[in-house]
Amino acid sequence: MRHLPASRTIAAGALVAEAIALRDDGWRFVTASCVPRPDGRRTVLYHFERGGELRHLRVEAPPGTSVPSIGPAFAAAFLVENEMRDLQGLAVAGLAIDYGGRLFRDLLEPAPRKTEP
Amino acid sequence: MTTTVVPFGPQHPILAEPIQLELTLEDEVVVGVVPGLGYVHRGIEAAAERRTYAQDLPLLERICGICSVAHAVAYAQAFEALAEVEIPRRARLLRTFWFELTRLHSHLLWLGLACDAIGLEAQFQSCWRVRELVLDVFAATAGNRVILGVTALGGVRSDVPERLLPIVRQQLDAIERGLADLAPLIVDNEAVLRRIAGVGRLSTADVVELGLVGPTARGSGVGLDVRASAYAAYDELPVEPIVEAGGDTVARALVRWREIAESLRLCREALARSDGLGGPLRVRVPTRPRGEATSRVEAPRGELFYYLLAEGEPHPTRCRVRTPTFANLPAVLRMLPGTEMANVPVALLSIDPCLSCTER
């Protein structure tokens, strides 16, 4: 399959260091996109922009694993990280503001964690 | 000093749509804030993954009634990148025409709401009276006042007929005259500027650190404008980002005000260049593309981002939408602490929050 140009796959453990390096290099965090796969994996793309150019970091999260929050690099990432957890069932460790599954307030109880396919 | 936690919203006189700010106050001053979403979440991203690409266009266009053209164009661009097709120049110019009209009416809508929030009902009505002229152009050229339905995958669905051109030009002139009448009431009015000066202050560093976009960023001296990346017809109609350095509500209001004039210029130029331009309005596109694509446009509130994953099915595997308000919401974490409770509504309004977009 044709991937996004300028996308690079990295290990979840390297995510925060890579994000900090991008921030220090003047890149802006645009957002993250989480793709739940039929086998229970989740592919997470982190999108960055600098001077009109886009760059993407790809992280594969096998079932039952989590990805670290990039909050230490980009303070505003907490919203999309909470959303990915609530809507795509992605486990995110170390959230700066943790809504506990209640980012979406009209839910009567925390969003179910879709950790299995 | 005792602290009090006050829920601001989800229902509040200044809010047209529901959002909650959990404010922690010391006396009348905000010392902490947590934004709360999800009162009207619609699951449109998930719905888009169950419909065909063509069916997704009207669905995604309905994410927001104000910037429906922005969503349609952003999605169409992402799809066209997947399909590896180039749309005709005429279509790019027409997309730019309707896109800039959208910015015009969105900024006028905001200006009216901001006036209403500080008790200026006459100015509110004056702004919306001028905005109504823009909606008339929408109705004349697209047949709809809100959801235009003019964008197609591979181009545009309709043209601006030649017989309508003089009417549209007259209407644009009328909008310009309306703006000239509004200026002394709002942006040249010392009383109005003093009421909003210093409210909701964001430094350049705050904007960079939080990744804020649109007039919120440009009002703090950051010249971020996706139109510089030359999508649609912005390659032949270049836009210089309009920037103010103040970082407060006045600066954000002035950015929007100046952008209204710029949008009028772009509408006129796009229309003039498309006038008499022959050729097709759209090109054929495949129904089962493969690959990944992103798309960015400068919606009235800032950068709108789409990500599409296509795996050869008639529908996208993933359709991700990051709206400008979703990016700008963290601004409240910086601009509200230290603000008096009475100024919270104006400060929140200054980022022009759109919950329809955010709760896609």
pLDDT at B293 (0 to 100): 95
Smallest CA–CA distance, residue B151 to chain A, in Å, is: 24
Question: Among A28-32, B34-38, B70-74, B82-86, whose mean pLDDT is lowest?
Answer: B34-38
Does A35 have pLDDT greater than 70?
Answer: yes
Residue A117 binned pLDDT confidence (cut-offs 50, 70, 90): very low
CB contact under 8 A, A31 and B320: yes
Secondary-structure breakdown of chain B: helix, strand, coil percentages, each rounded to the nearest 5: 50, 15, 35
Chain A residue closest in CA terms to B303? A30
Give the closest of A54, A76, A104 to B211, CB-based: A76
Question: Looking at residue A112, what is its pLDDT?
Answer: 56
SS3 of residue B306 by DSSP: strand
List the Cα angle A42/A46/A47 in 5-degree steps. Answer: 140
Structure tokens at A64: 């039952």
A28/B20 CB distance under 8 A: no
Q: Is B291 on the interface with A (CB under 8 A)?
A: yes
**How many Cβ atoms sit within 10 Å of the Cβ of residue A12?**
16
DSSP-derived 3-state class of residue B286: coil
Confidence of residue A113 (pLDDT cuts 50, 70, 90): low
Q: Is B317 on the interface with A (CB under 8 A)?
A: yes
User: What integer pLDDT is reported at residue B15 of this predicted model?
Assistant: 81
Consecutive H or E run containing A23: helix A15-24
> Which distant-in-sequence residues (6+ apart) come within 8 Å of B22 by Cβ?
B5, B6, B7, B8, B33, B34, B35, B36
CA distance B317 to chain A (A): 8
Mean pLDDT of the residues in chain B: 92
A48: nearest CA partner in chain B: B211
Count other C-beta atoms under 10 Å from residue A10's C-beta: 15
Distance (Å) from the alpha carbon of B169 to chain A's nearest alpha carbon: 33
Q: In this complex, is the C-beta atom of B167 within 8 Å of any C-beta atom belonging to chain A?
A: no
pTM, to two decimals: 0.93
Distance of alpha carbon A108 from alpha carbon A114, whole angstroms: 17
DSSP category for residue A5: T
Output the six-digit token pair for A29. Answer: 């965090």
Across the interface, do A105 and B38 touch by the CB < 8 Å criterion?
yes
Q: Is the pLDDT of residue B120 over 80?
A: yes
Range A92-103 average pLDDT = 87
Minimal CA separation from A51 to chain B, in Å: 9
Most confident of the ranges A30-34, B192-196, B235-239: A30-34
Whether pLDDT at B168 is above 50? yes
Indicate whether A114 pLDDT > 90: no
Can you tell me the ipTM of this complex?
0.91
Residue-wise pLDDT for A41-76, tens only, equals: 999 999 999 999 999 999 999 998 999 999 999 999
Closest alpha carbon to B269 in B79, B93, B57: B93
At residue A107 the predicted structure's pLDDT band, cuts being 50, 70 and 90, is low
Closest residue in A to B302 (Cα) is A30
Set of chain A residues whose Cβ sits within 8 Å of the Cβ of B211: 28-30, 74, 76
Query: What pLDDT is attached to residue A23?
Result: 96
What is the tens place of the pLDDT at every residue in B190-228?
Answer: 888 899 889 999 999 999 999 999 999 999 999 999 999
Chain A interface includes B334 (CB < 8 A)? no
Residue A76: its chain B contacts at CB < 8 A?
209-211, 327, 330
Q: Provide long-range contacts, Cβ within 8 A and 24+ apart, for A14-18.
A: A15/A46, A15/A57, A15/A59, A15/A67, A15/A68, A15/A70, A16/A68, A16/A69, A16/A70, A16/A72, A16/A73, A18/A57
Instruction: For residue B291, give the DSSP letter.
Output: E
Going by C-beta distance under 8 Å and a sequence separation of 6 or more, which residues neighbour residue B333?
A75, B33, B35, B210
Q: Give residue A116's pLDDT band: very low, low, confident or very high (50, 70, 90).
A: very low
Nearest CA in chain A to B230: A52
Q: How far apart are CA B10 and CA A27, in angstroms?
A: 34
Contact of B39 with chain A, judged by CB distance below 8 Å, is answered with: yes
What ranges make up the beta strands (E) of B81-195? 151-152, 155-156
| CB spacing of B318 vs A35 below 8 angstroms | yes
Mean pLDDT in residue range B167-175: 95
Min Cα–Cα distance to chain A from B15, Å: 17
Q: Degrees (nearest 5) of the Cα angle B294, A97, B11?
A: 85
Per-residue pLDDT reduced to its tens digit, B250-289: 999 999 999 999 999 999 999 999 888 888 999 999 999 9
Asked whether the beta carbons of residue A74 and residue B211 sit closer than 8 angstroms, the reply is: yes
In chain B, % of residues over pLDDT 70: 100
Whether chain A has a CB inside 8 Å of the CB on B337: the answer is no
Greater confidence, B268 or B13?
A: B268
d(CA A94, CA A81): 10
